[in-house]
Amino acid sequence: MRLLLRQVTPEDEELLFEVYASTRVDEVGAWGWDPARERAFLRMQFDARRRSYQAAYPDADDRVILQDGEAVGRILVSRTEDHIRLVDIAVLPRYRQAGIGTCLIRELIAESRSFRRPLRLQVARGNRAAVLYERLGFSVTGDGAVYREMECRPTGPVETHGATRWKI
């Protein structure tokens, strides 16, 4: 598996929406709405989330994940003087469970350790990814009604397999 990351461009709008919608399909599908209403709702939520991210993380590194040259997901990372934040990571359903997220998070952990800054993220309660984060060394630092705050402290070496490059 060869992963690369490239900067998000305006032409990626539909891909980013597809990735986002794929993370909400089970939740929204349970409401019994017709497909047009679901899509309209998801578009509204997608646009609101994008505005929220832009306001909260104006300098974030927004990348399309490429596997063997094909766009398969998105990763958004904010870097500050005191920490690195994994704001968002999502992969299209047909590429999930293939180690893509694990590989990218390991790269961020290695970066965190090399710069001696903690890696932080927020995960929705009930999101299966929390198990992955715990396995990779994250611990819960805050527990809210909807989200858990997690952090990986910059200690010790981490194996990355050199599978990605952030600056393309």
Residue pointed to by tokens 């399909």: 25
| Total Cβ atoms within 10 A of residue 100 | 22
Beta-strand runs (E) in the chain: 3-7, 61-67, 70-79, 84-91, 119-124, 139-143, 147-152
CA atoms of 112 and 96, how far apart (whole Å): 24
Residue 86: is it exposed, middle or buried by C-beta count within 10 angstroms (0-12/13-18/19+)? buried
Q: What is the pLDDT of residues 86-117, one digit of tens each?
A: 999 999 999 999 999 999 999 999 999 999 99
Q: Which CATH superfamily is domain 3-152 in?
A: Gcn5-related N-acetyltransferase (GNAT) (3.40.630.30)
pTM across the whole model: 0.88
- Sorted by where each begins, the domain ranges of the chain are 3-152
Q: What is the pLDDT of residues 37-91, one digit of tens each?
A: 999 999 999 999 999 999 999 999 999 999 999 999 999 999 999 999 999 999 9
CA atoms of 137 and 142, how far apart (whole Å): 16
